[in-house]
Amino acid sequence: MTEDADSETFRAALIAGDMDALRLIPKSDLHNHIVAGGTPDLLPGASAGYLEHKLRSMDEMHAWVDGHYGKFLSSAEGRFEAIHATFTSAKRDGVTLLAGGEDIWAPTAFDMTAETLTDTLKRIHRAAAPDLEWLPQLDMSRHCPVEALNAWLIPFLELGFYRTMDLSGDEFAQPIEAFRPLYREAKAQGLRLKAHVGEWGDADSVWRAVEELELDEVQHGIAAAQSPAVMRFLTDHRVRLNICPTSNVMLGRVDSMTEHPIRNLFEAGVIVTVNTDDMLVFGQSVSAEFLNLFRAGCLDAFALDEIRRNGLVSS
């Protein structure tokens, strides 16, 4: 892929360790759980700081979020304030393309319709970061019964507004095949399809999810680096992996930033991007993550610039 007008400046900013310059360069965040995607300083009513020690499981992660932000994020008002903080944080970091959305159970939990919830998100986007391109996303939790997910999903799909769909939560809650009907419905509506796999699961789980759900993108998918065959499959099918380096280190999926498998994936030709996951927890912006990978010696400035541009290619 050819360089863009910002490539040279981006590489120089990495080498100089210049965060202010990095923030001025266009970049994407395609893996951002927007209810936990802002920085704590923007949430004075809730601010409880970042995660400071490594965790060993998603249960520990959910317990940490509950303990620190659970009360705040249990109301619709708190969640909307948190989403506002996410758009503001992204703008501050120079993110020009952000994918994300609420979980589809939210209208039921907060006594709203899919339409009123969506209108609120549109208002927040316009108020906080109107110049940032937002790819509105439908998020589903993997532990929810498929019949419930289907009932929640339909009114959102009928709006014709959403661009992407994602599945997250415990990777082992239900077999991936269970979600195939939901993904077929979303595909029929033209949505770009994603799911969280290969963070806790193995390389084969990534391959199986891409085939079963016809995924365009995988959230994390780092386990694919364990298998040359799976990496070849992802490369051949141009499936993009949206990777969150600090999240992987803090949740013990990767030993260190230096040894992060994004390097092997990139060198094998897999299309990868760098993203934040949950900035409220991990505290690293997209610009910071690029610098983290560079300083750790994981990838050089040319590779990181190509990865930056991978995220800006329109789908």
CB nearer Zn ion, residue 29 or residue 277:
277
The DSSP code sequence of 161-222 is: ---EEEEES-TTSS-GGGGHHHHHHHHHTT-EEEEEESSSS-HHHHHHHHHHHT-SEEEE-G
Residue number with the smallest Cβ distance to Zn ion: 277
Q: How far apart are alpha carbons 281 and 69 in whole angstroms?
A: 10
CB nearer Zn ion, residue 25 or residue 254:
254
CB nearer Zn ion, residue 94 or residue 100:
100
Provide, rounded to whole angstroms, the least separation between the CB of residue 21 and Zn ion.
28
Question: What end-to-end distance do the CA atoms of the chain give, in Å?
Answer: 15
Tell the residue number behind the tokens 């970061």, with chain if given: 129
Q: Do residues 157 and 185 lie in contact, with contact meaning Cβ atoms separated by under 8 Å? A: yes
Q: Do residues 210 and 239 lie in contact, with contact meaning Cβ atoms separated by under 8 Å? A: yes
Q: Where are the alpha helices (DSSP H) in 58-169?
A: 58-69, 76-92, 106-109, 114-128, 146-158
CB nearer Zn ion, residue 217 or residue 277:
277
Provide, rounded to whole angstroms, the least separation between the CB of residue 103 and Zn ion.
12
CB nearer Zn ion, residue 14 or residue 195:
195
CB nearer Zn ion, residue 277 or residue 305:
277
CB nearer Zn ion, residue 279 or residue 288:
279
Tell the residue number behind the tokens 């033209």, with chain if given: 190
Q: Do residues 289 and 276 lie in contact, with contact meaning Cβ atoms separated by under 8 Å? A: yes
CB nearer Zn ion, residue 171 or residue 277:
277
CB nearer Zn ion, residue 144 or residue 159:
144
Enumerate residues 6+ apart whose C-beta is below 8 A from 263: 298, 299, 303
Provide, rounded to whole angstroms, the least separation between the CB of residue 296 and Zn ion.
21
The sign one gets for the Cα dihedral 159, 165, 166, 167 is: positive
Provide, rounded to whole angstroms, the least separation between the CB of residue 168 and Zn ion.
5
Provide, rounded to whole angstroms, the least separation between the CB of residue 219 and Zn ion.
5
> Given the rule CB under 5 A, which residues bind Zn ion?
277
Provide, rounded to whole angstroms, the least separation between the CB of residue 58 and Zn ion.
10
Provide, rounded to whole angstroms, the least separation between the CB of residue 98 and Zn ion.
14
Q: What strand order describes the sheet that includes 27-29? A: 27-29, 95-100, 133-141, 164-168, 192-197, 217-220, 240-243, 271-274
Provide, rounded to whole angstroms, the least separation between the CB of residue 233 and Zn ion.
22
Provide, rounded to whole angstroms, the least separation between the CB of residue 135 and Zn ion.
15
Cα maximum dimension of the chain: 52
Q: Do residues 199 and 169 lie in contact, with contact meaning Cβ atoms separated by under 8 Å? A: no
